[in-house]
Structure 1
Amino acid sequence: MSKEIRNLEPTELWNNFADLNAVPRGSKKEEKVIQFMVDFGKKLNLKTVVDHVGNVIIKKPATKGMENRKTVVLQSHLDMVHQKNSDTNFNFDTEGIKMKIVDGWVKAKGTTLGADNGLGVAAIMSVLASNTIKHPAIEALFTIDEETGMTGAMGLQAGYLDGEILLNLDTEEDDEIDIGCAGGIDITAKNVYHEVHTPSNSVGFSISVKGLNGGHSGMDIHKGLGNANKIMNRLLYESQELLRISEINGGSLRNAIPRESFAIISVSSAKKDTFLKKINTTINEIKKELKTVDANLDISVTETSTPKKVMTTISQITLLNTIYAAHNGVYRMSNDMEDLVETSNNVARVIVKEEKITILCLTRSSVETSKFDLANTLKAAFELGGYQVDLSGSYPGWKPNVNSAILNVLTKTYEELFNSKADVVACHAGLECGILGTNYPDMDMISFGPTIQGAHSPDERANIKSAQKFWNYLLTILEKIPSKN
């Protein structure tokens, strides 16, 4: 299917995307893609450097007649979110993404596609490699680890870039121009518990929550999608007097709404029928509540071998109450921008095994004080349950600048090209612009990109027509970059 992808228009964009997707590039495992990008720059005989954290910077002089225009930084991140369906056999560390075309969209086979932010990377590569595209001096900035901490953007020091304008190519709706974003903070709660031998005359059950849509924990948080960790906790909470927990394994990455959760429990043989009746009632209630947004939700309760050990009753009560108390979803809407989520939290990961509990959350907000308000709300809930709580990886949001000069260029260009007005928005995702602005405060920044749906989930897909629209838009913008002062 790679040939079919490579034949799509614009061919230079899709060929570079296919080349990129052949390289493993998970967050914090970017060694191969860093080398790939260095080799790419050097092959073009362009100045190529890698900074101390692993960001790659490739510089290309202006084309003839464009030397007096402002230098432009084209920026995208190299890493991608690794998510796959539970029935997909795939090794992200060694295999390239397997792609297919479905009804005008490019998708991956059972995994995330990496269009976030691979299409942005591929677009920049195409500009760097071209001998025909008109453009000012280009500084291509390929950052690392955007998805799990933005450590690349945070580690980029002053002095590497001279550009006056930064075009971030990481927005996922092609009719939007982004001028602001949310910041974030990681919340990690850990606890220990006591195990006891499973009571005699018990039967084991495996509970699985699958089939949820999942998605981006920022861009999709307002959709009311099911969170597998919260669903599992509700199932266990409603029947807690009838069961004993042995293990829980739910969710995966902080920035992905959890699609799956699995638990092993024991139930007294004498109460087996009562338990099944009770939990099936809860299952039906949850499915009814989520049928509009998560029609494929699948919750199964299957008899299995009885676990050897389970949590003590008090440990179980504390665990279930704590997770129930942890806020998940939208916390506050913005008072300044219509329909913008200001603050939210994603209960992303729950692991209960061998007398250790780990709960991972990602809190986002476009307002720093509100971000820490929700973080402290969660911290308080966890600490009441006896958890040790660590707040880490805090990064700032990006404050909108409605008077941006490059914004004026983009809005006028969009209207001229497409005979309609673009939506000027701020998003509830974490873009790197706010962080990059700390060391480059005078740089005029904007973000846009092609339409991508289902990012951070195996349903991720990139619209083919939108990629063409995005490419034409980018090339026209580069031609219209203002002259130097």
Structure 2
Amino acid sequence: MNEHIDTLEPAILWRHFRTLCNIPRPSGHEAALVAQLIAWAESRGLSHDRDNFGNLRLRKPATVGHEQAPGIVLQGHLDMVAQAASGSAHDFTRDSLDTYLEDGWLKARGTTLGADNGLGVAAALAVLEDDELVHGPLEALFTLEEETSMGGALNLAEGWLEGRYLLNLDSEDRGQVYIGCAGGADINVSAAFATSSLREDEAALELTIGGLIGGHSGLDIHRGRGNANRLMSRALVELAEFSPRLVSWSGGTLRNALPREAQASLVLFDEHVSIARQRLAAFEAQIRDELRDTDPDVTLTLGRGNAESALSVTDSRQLIAVLDAAPYGVERMSAAVEGVVETSNNLGVVQLREGRFHLCALVRSLRDDAVIMMEQRIRGLFALIGATTVAENAYPGWKPVPEAALLARFCSLHETVTGRAPEIKVIHAGLECGILGAKYPALEMISFGPLIRGAHSPSERVEVESVGEFWQVLKGLITELAAPASV
């Protein structure tokens, strides 16, 4: 499947990406890909090992005469975000991706493409395969479960890696190099509510919000796109005077993706249904105007539902109120790095079923103390309704070191290869570099990659031409680092 990928250049890189497209690899389901990579490494005589968490390392000795060059760790994560368009029957645990080319971009039909971070992994494999490339000692580190928990990096064995430089291949902008990133934490909120049966004069309704673009909860958080969970809370606030009772809520599927859809079941008295429809029609017109430049296809529908029981009016009112008051989106722009978000929160997943409520939010910040402060605010807010809040999977940010020798050599090489100097950036996203740097403080690190847009959404795509440039820069840098640094 995906034979057309074999027509792309550089072929040595793209054929590995085709393998990644054909093998299902959502977070937590990387085993088949790991087995394939181990078999491939053994077929080429490359050594391999794994740490206790299951992260995979492949190694290749230096080119003869370059054994004393500093070692390089090529790093990427094997898993991909599993997001499908509404109505798609794609099973990310069983089905290959269905990719296609359009106007110079590679895309996937109805799903995420997995260019994040499949192209970084493919590039590392291509480096290991290229026997004409001059290089020092090479390690390729492939981590697991990056997209759901940073589990691979957080549990990476210490004292395992041997390289001096780490090239993280998980960035998504052409002509840019990243030297710092946000840290973050998952904020999980849970509560249980009593339910009671519907009265004869109550009607069950189903409220649905859809048509949103979604996107990456770090890279796209500042773009003003709609968040289905926040829009749902706003819609329910519009109905507050009718004393709705909540039955269920299902919004978003991943804490690191902007939620594109949400459904809520609710109960109203029969006499209020007609006016509620009018109120929601007006609200839909409002949000369509509000989001016309970012989410022009947003929709809000209200239909008949089915329910036997619902939360009380009081519990429903309070739950809706705290969800509507919860911090979301950009909290603060960085004063130190112009144009970069410092702190944000994504209301990623909201679930209410049979009285059991769960929220999974993802807080990101360039400041680790700001993550803690945001968690405290959320904890305090939801404590008002008796909910329990737990911060999990916290990971540190990556502090920029603009004077690093590796960065200087990369910038010089990039200008030589492309004819232009790279932009030096700090990213509001959770690269694994912060975690890896805490475990291996002597590592010098940079992150770069091809041009990817729409990551973490079914509109994900990669510019084919940028992959060729990325490959040339990567090869050139590896050869450059195999030679002694100029004095």
TM range (shorter): over 0.9
Corresponding residue for 2:323? 323
Change (3 A) 1:306 1:71: closer
Q: Does 1:267 align with 2:233?
A: no
Q: Deviations over 1:2-56 (max 9, x none)?
A: 1211111111111100111211211122221221221121121111001110110
Corresponding residue for 1:284? 285
AA in 2 matched with 1:20: L
SS in 2 for 1:101: strand
Corresponding residue for 2:105? 105
Return the offset for 1:65.
4.0
SS in 2 for 1:457: coil
AA in 1 matched with 2:288: K
Corresponding residue for 2:219? 219
**Partners of 2:170 and 2:229 in 1: how far apart?**
28
Corresponding residue for 2:442? 442
**Partners of 1:159 and 1:312 in 2: how far apart?**
55
Q: How does 1:165-176 map to 2 (within 5 A)?
A: 165-176=165-176
Conservation of the 8 A alpha-carbon contact between 2:136 and 2:482: no
Change (3 A) 1:48 1:339: same
**Partners of 2:484 and 2:35 in 1: how far apart?**
34
Corresponding residue for 1:189? 189
**Partners of 2:305 and 2:409 in 1: how far apart?**
65
- CA RMSD of the aligned region, Å? 1.3
Change (3 A) 1:262 1:305: closer
**Partners of 1:441 and 1:417 in 2: how far apart?**
30
**Partners of 1:417 and 1:29 in 2: how far apart?**
37
Conservation of the 8 A alpha-carbon contact between 1:183 and 1:364: yes
AA in 2 matched with 1:267: L
Q: How does 1:41-440 map to 2 (within 5 A)?
A: 41-242=41-242, 243-302=244-303, 304-440=304-440
Conservation of the 8 A alpha-carbon contact between 2:2 and 2:18: yes
Conservation of the 8 A alpha-carbon contact between 2:249 and 2:353: yes
Q: Deviations over 1:263-314 (max 9, x none)?
A: 1222322222211111111111111111111111122112x24422121001
Corresponding residue for 2:474? 474
AA in 1 matched with 2:428: H
SS in 1 for 2:481: coil
**Stretches of 4+ moved more than 6 A in 1?**
none
Conservation of the 8 A alpha-carbon contact between 1:171 and 1:447: yes
SS in 2 for 1:406: helix
Structure 2: gaps of 5 or more residues = none
SS in 2 for 1:480: helix
**Partners of 1:190 and 1:439 in 2: how far apart?**
32
Conservation of the 8 A alpha-carbon contact between 2:395 and 2:435: yes
**Partners of 1:194 and 1:286 in 2: how far apart?**
33
SS in 2 for 1:54: coil
Return the offset for 1:483.
4.4
Corresponding residue for 2:16? 16
**Partners of 1:400 and 1:40 in 2: how far apart?**
36
Change (3 A) 1:306 1:443: closer
**Partners of 2:273 and 2:149 in 1: how far apart?**
45
**Partners of 1:352 and 1:392 in 2: how far apart?**
20
**Partners of 1:199 and 1:411 in 2: how far apart?**
69
Conservation of the 8 A alpha-carbon contact between 1:70 and 1:483: no
Return the offset for 1:454.
0.7
**Partners of 1:87 and 1:63 in 2: how far apart?**
51
AA in 2 matched with 1:153: A
AA in 2 matched with 1:404: A
Conservation of the 8 A alpha-carbon contact between 2:214 and 2:258: yes
AA in 1 matched with 2:479: E
Conservation of the 8 A alpha-carbon contact between 2:111 and 2:458: yes
Conservation of the 8 A alpha-carbon contact between 1:68 and 1:483: no
AA in 2 matched with 1:79: D
SS in 2 for 1:273: helix
**Partners of 1:15 and 1:483 in 2: how far apart?**
29
SS in 2 for 1:401: coil
Moved more, 341-350 or 435-444: 435-444
**Partners of 1:365 and 1:305 in 2: how far apart?**
40
AA in 2 matched with 1:295: P
AA in 2 matched with 1:344: S
**Partners of 1:181 and 1:195 in 2: how far apart?**
44
Return the offset for 1:191.
0.7
**Partners of 1:305 and 1:168 in 2: how far apart?**
48
TM-score between both structures, scaled by the size of structure 2:
0.97
Moved more, 171-180 or 123-132: 123-132
AA in 1 matched with 2:191: N
**Partners of 2:306 and 2:371 in 1: how far apart?**
43
Aligned length: 484
Change (3 A) 1:305 1:225: closer
**Partners of 1:364 and 1:482 in 2: how far apart?**
36
| Percent identity between the two aligned chains | 38
Return the offset for 1:482.
5.4
**Partners of 1:119 and 1:446 in 2: how far apart?**
16
**Partners of 1:299 and 1:10 in 2: how far apart?**
45
Moved more, 351-360 or 416-425: 416-425
Moved more, 48-57 or 145-154: 145-154
**Partners of 1:70 and 1:271 in 2: how far apart?**
72
Structure 1: gaps of 5 or more residues = none
Return the offset for 1:393.
0.9
TM-score between both structures, scaled by the size of structure 1:
0.97
**Partners of 1:107 and 1:366 in 2: how far apart?**
31
SS in 2 for 1:426: strand
**Partners of 1:332 and 1:428 in 2: how far apart?**
12
Return the offset for 1:201.
2.8
Q: Deviations over 1:416-467 (max 9, x none)?
A: 2222221101101101111111221111100000011111111110110111
AA in 2 matched with 1:248: W
Conservation of the 8 A alpha-carbon contact between 1:202 and 1:306: no
